[in-house]
A and B are shown apart, each in its own frame.
Chain A
């Protein structure tokens, strides 16, 4: 099985007044053909930066000091502007975190959905029919009528679903979704998860799914990568990582999920402390400032400890399964 998307030792820096902000450090992620890989992590840990790097859409002040990104064997960082546009349209499509920025506020939904089908054959009516069909699949009531609506006339969840429908219309090889269900209620969330699964079967695309809703990741993904402050700290099959987390950060993250608390509590669990200053990250383990297991050795870079076949955690004190 080949890899649809492969990120190897990727680092991304943003130039700021305080110096280089290291938003990503040596991140490696592989999305095999036909699989769904999830990425979880605290906000600000670099998930959106990762996506923008994949698409080569980083803002002006960003640089990529190291790393390779290959899309179906092709190095994205070396592609020229024309090839990139081609890739973005045909091979890779994205559902952005903020649906309002992905939609043009002065064009109707129908017009925007028609425009993205410019490569597909068919007349205008045919394209509109396809658009309406896709809107119906993401659960938008009155899909034909909604083609005439403008983005601000839709609710937040509807906008998010329109963005998903648009990405799906392009039938990409790799679909990237940046927290696509945050504005949806539970019933719709489930519906979208089912839709993504169907889509994945139907067109055989690989999906990179970014979310911090642990429940959604657990339901949808085959594998999961846990990120913290720009570093991938743990990776493995979903069930393995959630049931037997190896990295102290993953353990804390799972403990924080209010879905586990069946009794009312006054204070919701949180991880004390805050993200390290990414312009001046500590040497060694990135999590040491908030980790209750930290010892002296943690000031040196932690190795990737295999927990299970295909499941590792980057921590000095993570114990392999059964020891």
Chain B
């Protein structure tokens, strides 16, 4: 019992902000996973008689221009959003982590080369890069993921590099070396835990950003194929038919807001709990 209370999960559960965040995220994930079961309607089924219906007992969030149930479409869209966001953030985070540590630890020339590379990538406007890549690749989720990875790993790389660099020369790392610690032990036991705090924060804050990018790309028509129920596509419909009904736009924005709140709060709570100096009690 006491061991659990002091474990990371135990401490997170004790933190009201983290608890709130985890409840939201869990709800989003469960709804996405069980979309088929929960969905009151077939997300693709058109019902032309009920176009632009306001929220009601049958259509909880109303219907769109083709009379499809918005709630069911958002549930299905959650799958895509979470899948894209988690995959893209994991891949770009891992690339950034490895490259950042390499830059921080490697010889000066490698550091300079990687830094130049990071800066060049970050200087390139995401949306232009996205459009260019989308023109070269077939429309689909993998394209979205690749675009996100290419435009965001440099940011992780930079943060990890700065962190690594300032740790590398610190006296406790020297002390580890003086005791005969291997390179791997220093990296995995002593550098990594100190890098992970800021890294998680960044990743958690990036998750909603990635969801928005996916939505944006679908909105621009270069993301998922038309007709696929994604959050972005719903938002786009909302804008297109704002004169007919405000409900599509309002309901379409809700999951995005929830995801942003949930992941940002979780990121901050994780950082606080991972760093013993920031914990409220030891």
Contacts and interface: CB of A to CB of B under 8 A. Distances in A.
A and B touch in the complex (CB under 8 A): yes
Interface residues of A, number: 12
Q: How large is the interface on B (under 10, 10 to 19, 20 to 34, 35 or more residues)?
A: 10 to 19
A17 interface: yes
Interface string A9-36: 0000001110000000000000000000
A106 interface: yes
B237 to A, nearest CB: 45
A61 B169 contact: no
A16 B282 contact: yes
B279 A60 contact: yes
Contacts of A310: none
A17 B282 contact: yes
Contact of A100 (B171, B277, B279, B281): B171
A98 to B, nearest CB: 10
B261 interface: no
Contact of A105 (B6, B166, B279, B281): B166
A106 B162 CA distance: 8
Interface in B226-282: 277-282
A100 B167 CA distance: 12
B277 A59 contact: yes
A78 interface: no
B170 interface: yes
DSSP majority for the B interface?
A: loop
A234 B276 CA distance: 35
Contact of B280 (A60, A104, A106): A60
Interface in B159-184: 162, 165-166, 169-171
B171 A16 contact: no
A61 B282 contact: yes
A85 interface: no
Contacts of B171: 100
A16 B281 CA distance: 6
A16 B280 CA distance: 9
Contact of A15 (B6, B162, B169, B280): B280
A61 B281 contact: yes
Nearest to B272: A60
A106 B115 CA distance: 15
A152 B277 contact: no
A294 to B, nearest CB: 32
B281 A15 contact: yes
A61 B282 CA distance: 8
Contacts of B281: 15-17, 61
Contacts of B278: 60
Interface in A260-317: none
Contacts of A152: 169-170
Interface in B116-131: none
Nearest to A59: B277
Given A105-B166, A106-B162, 15 more contacts: A15-B281, A16-B281, A17-B281, A17-B282, A60-B277, A60-B278, A60-B279, A60-B280, A61-B280, A61-B281, A61-B282, A100-B170, A105-B165, A106-B166, A152-B169
20 contacts: A15-B280, A15-B281, A16-B282, A17-B6, A17-B281, A60-B277, A60-B279, A60-B280, A61-B280, A61-B281, A61-B282, A100-B170, A105-B165, A105-B166, A105-B169, A105-B170, A106-B165, A106-B166, A150-B169, A152-B170
Interface of B: 6, 162, 165-166, 169-171, 277-282
